[in-house]
């Protein structure tokens, strides 16, 4: 991440120099480019994080099996009259302990 930050810093510095030199239009163009690049970098990072989170759980069948296990545990505890705190723990963690 240091390289993109350094590249953005150099563009910002160049835009500031243009502004000081009286080239307001060029400075604004550079500033807009920095803004667009920063936004694209952030969106890419968010996309990569979401993709990684979706892939960390393994294949689709294992996710279904885990969901069935949690639902069964929750339903059995609810039928047995478990207190709301235990049902909440099961819902949040998938564990009754």
Per-residue pLDDT of the chain (97 residues; tens, 9 = 90+): 577 778 778 888 888 899 899 999 888 888 887 788 778 878 888 888 877 776 655 578 887 888 888 888 888 888 898 888 888 888 888 887 8
What is the phi-psi region of residue 83: left when phi exceeds 0, alpha when psi lies from -120 to 50, beta otherwise?
beta
Question: What residue ranges do the domains of the chain occupy?
Answer: 2-55, 60-93
Return all residues near 86 (Cβ < 8 A) that are at least 6 apart: 77, 96
Angle separating helix axes 24-55 and 2-20, nearest 10 degrees = 160
């Amino acid at each position: 991440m240091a390289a993109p930050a350094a590249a953005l810093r150099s563009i910002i510095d160049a835009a500031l120099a243009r502004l000081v030199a009286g080239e307001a239009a060029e400075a604004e163009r550079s500033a807009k480019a920095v803004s667009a690049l920063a936004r694209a970098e952030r969106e890419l990072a968010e996309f990569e994080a979401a993709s990684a989170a979706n892939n960390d759980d393994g294949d689709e069948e294992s996710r279904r099996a885990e969901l069935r296990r949690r639902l069964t545990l929750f339903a059995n505890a609810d039928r047995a009259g478990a207190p709301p705190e235990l049902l909440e723990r099961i819902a949040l963690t998938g564990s009754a302990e």
